[in-house]
Structure formats: structure tokens, C-alpha cells
Structure 1
């Protein structure tokens, strides 16, 4: 239970309570301070203890995801304690209940304070002697280590120590925060299938970008979901819901592996079908959209300053590679294998990562890219001493080099009239796969180019995405972009590279 600390201020006597560490992000401050409106003494101590009990109950409600106005709860407890010294009913988080407690003397007040402290520390069934009317049921408070909130923190710590991708940790943190807010901070041994079903039902109403919306500041998870159920906002995408289940499943397996659970509460709960979780992965660019994106004057103006703006869209168009794969290329990843120039999509240099095993591949450089002067650009980057192909793209947050490129490209195509939801760099991937499929290229060959596994049916459904390098070269020769590419001039980005090579100014 929070301990009250008295503060003497010019305006009078105040009481301060420390906010538990696990609720700092919800409450938004380390301390709660309220005026007592009385002089210090036994009566003030009793009122402060009453406020502490009310605050303890409020903290438990917050952990369950319920909305609580902490200041109102404290003021109500202060008012109740100030009016008289008879407590109708006070419940502690561990189940202890005090009813009709009469405080007539200073000794009664001290006894009540000691009784509350002892009941709050209760770890075994017992009865504490109390003033007339007080009842303490024999109920054991769960240890902190057994609570859901504690085990979530342990699990997230394990993921960070294992150097999992930063995005994986963030996704887990978000999904498990929602899970905790929906089912409440209960002992993990009590988790069951109904808790998981409740989570799946409610999280389907979680608004997109809910945490960034000003009107949701200070609201609990349950409050935001309740509000969303009565509104007509856009629900999470199917692949987002699938990700929530995946991150919960990993956490449940953690609990099973550490003997916190005897059976898997997810077992027996049907999964969303593969089709449903992948039917919102976007579409290919239309020819009209490609014409608008690569309109010579507009594209030249947008791509004039940085090499990644000039080359990344062209590479995406003629490889179908993911934006992260293109943005993280090193100069050494451009190589010649068996007389064929190509891109090595791999993981080995700082900041590089792959989505899965199928992502590791060698993509031949299509002839239109060679004709546009791509190898001359690579030579310029080598001559400039650059290790990365696109050195202006940062990876400051550890989520990959593609984040800034994605934002810049999305902003550009929206200005060019490509404004449908979900349209971005990833649409090049659909464009490549769809057009090769229409050209009669086998799915196995397309998969070798785009980096898709053939099992699971993802490619035929959404990418139409083999076995040999000549087949890939031939396949890419059948890709028709329908746009005229700009031609690179050797030394075109010399100014941008000189800026990179300048020593950084020291901050005075």
C-alpha cells in the first residue's frame, strides 16, 4: 500500500504518495500530491491512511485496465475521512475488508493504521485483531513474481538480452500491454482460454494509432476499446491481429517453459485462416500510377539531391525487393556471379537483416537498370570510399535503413496522385510478381527473385512469385515496366557525397 508523506507548504498541509514503477507510464508522474486541509495530528494521519487505502484500490483498478481518476479518488477519501471517524467499508487489494470501523481515540487511530499495514503485508491465512466490526477474511495476496505484469516484464527483458530485433521487442511490448489491460493483472497460474478469447475479441476493436491520439491520453486500454466499440473508426488490419496472436503465443510458451503454466490456454482456440491474415498486403501499381511516379520532370526534381531517391525506386521496380533489402545494400553486395551482375540480398554487414531464410538470394540486375548506368553509379560509390550504396539513409532507431526511404517515397507518390491506403514501396513487389505471372513465368522462378518460400501458398495468392540463374535472367527479361528510366550521369551525386565526407562540427 502507498505510504503517505506529509509536506508542509505555505498553503497548508499536503500529503504525497509515490506512484508504483509499473504504473508510471499510465499515471504520467512519479508522485501524487493532494492538500489535506487540516493541521497535522492523529486525525490527519488517519485521513492520509484512508487516502492511501483508496489509492491502493485505484492502482489495482489501473492494472486491470480500468479507468480511474486518481485525484478524484483521493479527494473523495479525504472528504470521507474529514467528516467523521466511522469507516463504512474499506477493502484492501489482498481481499481484506474492514466494515463499520469506529475510531474514537488516538489509540484507535494508531491501531487501525497498524492493522492496515499488517493486513497489506499478509502472506498467509490469518486473522488480525481489529476494532469492533472489522472483518479480515483468510485470503493470501499473490506474490509479485506470480502476477502477469511481472512475468511480462521478465519476458521482455529476456527478448532484449537475446538481442532480438528491436521491432520484435516493440511489437511484443505493445501486444502484451494490450493483453494486460484487457484481462487485468491476475496471477499467471489463473490464465485460461477465456482470457485469450476476451483478448482476441477486444483487441479487434483497438483503433489504429490509438496511443498517438490526443483524446486517448490518460485513458485505460479498456476505456479506449469501449469508446472504439461505439465509434466507426478503422479497426486493426488482419495482419496486425495475427501479429498480436503471435506475440501472445511466444509469451505463453515462455510461461510454459518456465513452469508458470501447466497447459497452453491457446490450445484449442482456432487460428485465423492464412488467407484472412494476408488479404490486406496491398496491390500492384497500375500503369497509370507508374507513369505518374516516373514522370521525367517530377521524378528528376524529387530525386535530384540523394542517390537513394534516384536508384531505390528503380531497383524496387526491377527486383521486387523489400524496401529494407534495397536500403541496406552495401557496395560489396553488388557482384558478378557466373558472368551475371546482380544484387546479393544477405545479412552480414552492420545493420543488415533478413525477414526469413527465403529472403537470402541473388537477384540479377535487369538490363534496363544496366542501361540506366547503374554500374557507373556503383563505381562512383567505390571511388568515393563509401561502404554503403545509400549512405544518406540512417538506422538510428535500429529498425533498419528503410524507414526514412519508405516515408520519403510514400510522401512523393501521394503528391503524384497515388493515395490509396497501403500503397507504398511494397507495391513494386506486387507489380514484379503479378507481371511476371502474366508473362507465364513459373512461380518457382518468381520466388527465387522476390525471396518467397513456396510452402504456405503466400506467393500464388498475393505475390504470384527457380531453380537456376539463367532462368532468373530470362524471367527478368520478360518484365515490362512500361516506363522510360532516367539515365545516371557519372558523378551525379558528387555534391551529396562531399557533404557526407565533411568532418562534423563539434558542439560548443
Structure 2
């Protein structure tokens, strides 16, 4: 095929691949692909500078036409996401899947999925390490294409994402590729031959526990009372401290979730009511109320909420995007602890989870017993109705009694939030 025909092929977006060709000046071109007008111009410049004639004939791999829409990554990505929605997957899961797949599309291009291989996956992981944090919210990145944003991030020496983030990208990609295989769009998962980062035990749970100095600062009475002007600000941190529960698990509690079973007051973490959700099956549990929470007047607060006619324990927390009631609580708490001197990136409500588990472990409590409080996977078999597991209630009370927070909780006064509960 002569160069003029090759250029014509490139102009109509037909891939041109040069296996090997030696130009008059001795330059050898190997494995060159022409896919864009810029590629075409660069190739033409090289050929002209080498003194080659347009009649020069170049060996070429048979050109592949543009893949049909039904074969393209972008189209099948949308079908996959629609399948996730149809299967009622969590909206956060769908949003995060779209993020990862859109990044892959931006890096690798809209190829036929049958053409995606391990090389493409390696390229993606090499590039996504430069993806800037909060790119869609930052003015210097938000209007750029993915490739342009990556190039700018490299020039600005943006910090690399955490390995846990890269692991999540891999997991979401693998889910998509396996879906392609099940739907007979692909024969094998191209990630299979790409070595994964070796997991360290510390990567299983991100973050760390609060130090005693940090807990003292957070629950210092004057500062805490000044900040905790709404029920959720007052009680969610206290409940988190004495349960290690996730912020969304606590923020979504209903009045009916608080119950006394066999004389032991506590609360259900479940998804029995509108808007409630769980991370996994092990998350379903009944958590006894630790004595410091009872002494601080938690049950008096529950009575006040019930008397005010609210179904939800923390009615001021919204669930606007459907991703859970904990989003606003998390942001408010993070802002508060930063003002109190906890400045480390990533510290927030989840640190209570680490604090409880770490201190109980040091107190000699078994991993299984801790898991019955925190709802970690592997904590035991599926529990009876509402996951109360009454035979182990006393054990959980004993477990919580061994947790020493080292702080005194501010005491709730009946009617304290009467005004806000009327809103």
C-alpha cells in the first residue's frame, strides 16, 4: 500500500499499523499505529524528512474498521450500569463503577471489548496513579478531558491515590469484565494476568484509632456542647465511641430500632425501615447500650423524640442523594474535629470504630466478641430474628464494659432539643 493511500485511510479513521519499514535515511519504523489526524501529520513529517517518495510501498497489517457500537466499551459500560440499576444495586456502587469505567475509557479509548488485553489494563493502572483527588470539584481540572487532566496532574506532581483506591478500581473493572464474559462479549478477564498489589494487613481497614489526647479534645464539655446544637451532633459521636458503628448505621436509626431485650436496652442495626441500608450481612446486629450512654440520658432523648412525633431518631439528617443519612453527619463531624486539632487527612467518625476495636483487643477481648459489637465480617453465623442473638447478649454487655474511653460524656437534659425537634 502506498503512503497516499495510507494517509487517506488515516483521514477516515481507519487504523493503519506499520509492521516494519526502513526509510531512505536508515530510520526503521516498527509497530507504528495511525489513529488520529495528529498521528497522520507526524508520520507524514517523518516520511518527508527521510526523503521518501509518496509512491513508497509500506507493508501493512490489514486495517481494522471502527468496531460496531454493540462491541464498543462505552456502549457496553452503559448497559452494565443499567443492569446494576435494574438489580437495585446501591446508588453509591453505581456511581463509583461509573467513575472507574469512565477513567478506563478515557485512558484506553473506546475500543472493541474483545481487543482489550493486559497491556491496556497495565496502561490504565500506570495512568490512574496520577488521577488528582476531587478532580471534578477543582476548577483547574473540572473542564478537562481525562487525558488532559492526567497530564496536568503529572505536571503539578499531584500525590498518588492510596493503594486501597487503586484496589477498588481493579475490583470494579473485574466486575465489569466478568459481566462481559457472562454476556459472551469477552472470553477471558484481561486482568487475570496482571499482578495485583500485595495486600498488607494494615490495608484491610483504612485509618487509625483516636489518641486519648484527641478524644479529650473532641468531648471537652464546653467545646462539645457549643458544637452539638442538634440531636445528631450530640448523640452520633457518643454512640460511635461506645459501639464502633459506622456513621451511616447510626445516622439512619429509627425510634423503633431502640428496644429492650431480656432486660438489656440497645438498638438494632438493620434495614427494616425506609432509607436504611447495610454494608453486608454481618452488619445486621443488636448493640447493647453501654452504661455511660445510659448515664448520659440516651433513653430520655429517645422518649423526647418519640413524644415529638418523629419516626427517625435524628430527623435533621437528610438522604438527598439516596446514598444514606450519614453523609452530612460525616462532613459536620470532620469539620468539628479539625477545629479541635485533629488535622490528619482521613480522620473522622470511622476512627471510633478503630478506637473501640483496638482498645478491646488490648483488653484481651476475642476478635469474635468484638465483631458481634462492630459487625465485622466473620464475626459469626447469621443471627436469629432481627439478629438479636439473645444467648450472646450478656457477653456483649460484658464486652462493652471492658471498653475504657477515658472521657466523661456530657449529660443530656430532658427537653434539651425540644425547639429543634419541632422543626
In which range does the TM-score fall when normalised by the shorter chain?
0.7 to 0.9
DSSP-derived class of the 1:436 partner: helix
Structure 2 equivalent of residue 458 of structure 1: none
2:196 to 265, 271, 274: 271
State the match for 1:286 in structure 2. 211
Aligned partners of 1:277, 1:93: CA distance in 2, in Å? 48
Pairing partner for 1:296 from 221, 246, 256: 221
Q: How much has 1:279 moved relative to structure 2?
A: 6.2
Q: Is the 8 A contact 1:444 1:467 kept in 2?
A: no
Partner of 1:459: none
Instruction: Choose the corresponding residue for 1:420, options 340, 344, 358.
Output: 344
Question: More displaced, 354-363 or 262-271?
Answer: 262-271
Query: Deviation above 3 Å: which 4+ runs of structure 1?
Result: 137-141
In structure 2, the partner of 1:170 is 95
How far, CA to CA, are the matches of 2:189 and 2:202 in structure 1?
23
2:27 aligns with none
In structure 2, the residue matched to 1:127 is none
Correspondence 1:46-445 to 2 at 5 A: 91-95=11-15, 140-275=65-200, 278=203, 281-304=206-229, 306-445=230-369
2:374 to 423, 446, 450: 450
CA contact (8 A) 1:208 1:236 kept: yes
Worse-superposed segment, 322-331 or 270-279: 270-279
Using the TM superposition, give the Cα deviation of residue 167 of structure 1 relative to its aligned residue in structure 2, in angstroms: 0.5
CA distance in 1 between partners of 2:219 and 2:15 (Å): 68
Point out where structure 1 has 5 or more consecutive residues left out of the alignment: 1-87, 97-132, 456-465, 500-508
For structure 2, the residue ranges without an aligned partner over 5 or more in a row are: 1-6, 17-54, 56-61, 380-389
Look up the SS of the partner of 2:313 in the other structure.
coil
Larger Rg: 1
- Deviation per CA, 1:128-174, whole angstroms, max 9, x where unpaired? xxxxx9xxx97543211111111111111111222211110110110
TM-score computed with the length of structure 1 as normaliser: 0.68
Task: Work out which of the residue numbers 405, 413, 419 in structure 2 matches 1:481.
Answer: 405
* 1:204 positional shift: 1.6
Distance 1:206 1:280 in 2: 22
- Cα distance in 2 for partners of 1:192, 1:259 equals 16
CA distance in 1, matches of 2:391, 2:190: 42
- Tell me the distance in 2 between the aligned counterparts of 1:191 and 1:482: 55
Q: Secondary structure at the match of 2:260?
A: strand
Question: Residues of 2 paired with 1:221 and 1:276: CA distance?
Answer: 33
1:383, 1:231 → 2: CA distance? 56
User: What's the C-alpha RMSD, in Å, of the aligned pairs?
Assistant: 2.2
Distance in 1 (CA, whole Å) between partners of 2:208 and 2:376 is: 16
- When residues 384 and 283 of structure 1 are mapped into structure 2, their CA distance, relative to the original with a 3 A threshold, is same
SS at match of 1:469: helix
- How many positions carry a matched residue from both structures? 364
